[in-house]
Amino acid sequence: MKILVIHGPNLNLLGRREPEIYGSETLGEINDRIEERARLRGVSVVTFQSNHEGEIIDAIHRAAEDGPDRCDALVINPGAYTHYSIAIRDAISGTDLPTIEVHLSDITAREPFRKTSVIAPVCVKQIAGLGVESYLLAIDEFADGAV
């Protein structure tokens, strides 16, 4: 099984971006943890970060098409796009990729505009509020064949 992990906008700033909300680990450190978990669970993982909606959509399309970038499953932290990107939602629903939406913070316990995810209805699951553990549990779910 090959899993694509997409990190959306501003997640390249992790480590120095509002550490009281998002923790002190950098994106590189988080990716190391994701890769370590994938190795332990015997699945393959590819990580990708972009600040651009269209690039995220292109990555989802490539993962769903036959070719070298084909993946079996998607883990996505869409960042702020979570709350309004119908285009990313349509990219997910337009492919056959089972998708888990993840968040470092608990989006239900913050500003009202973060409570709504337009992405969640097209995902098999949402895992939020557990820091890097949100990503690791998503890898476990796919490795276990639980979703």
Site for ligand DQA in 44-83 (CB under 6 A): 77, 79-80, 82
Whether 112 contacts 89, CB under 8 Å: no
User: Which of 1, 10, 62, 69 is in the footprint of ligand DQA by CB under 6 A?
Assistant: 10
Instruction: List, by residue number, the catalytic residues.
Output: 22, 103
Q: Does 37 bind ligand DQA (CB under 6 A)?
A: no
CA pair distance 105, 98, nearest whole angstrom: 22
Task: State in angstroms the smallest separation of the CB of 66 from ligand DQA.
Answer: 30
Which residue, 60, 31, 70, 25, is CA-closest to 47?
A: 31
Whether 7 contacts 47, CB under 8 Å: yes
What does the binding site for ligand DQA look like in residue numbers (CB under 6 A)?
A: 10, 77, 79-80, 82, 103-105, 107, 114
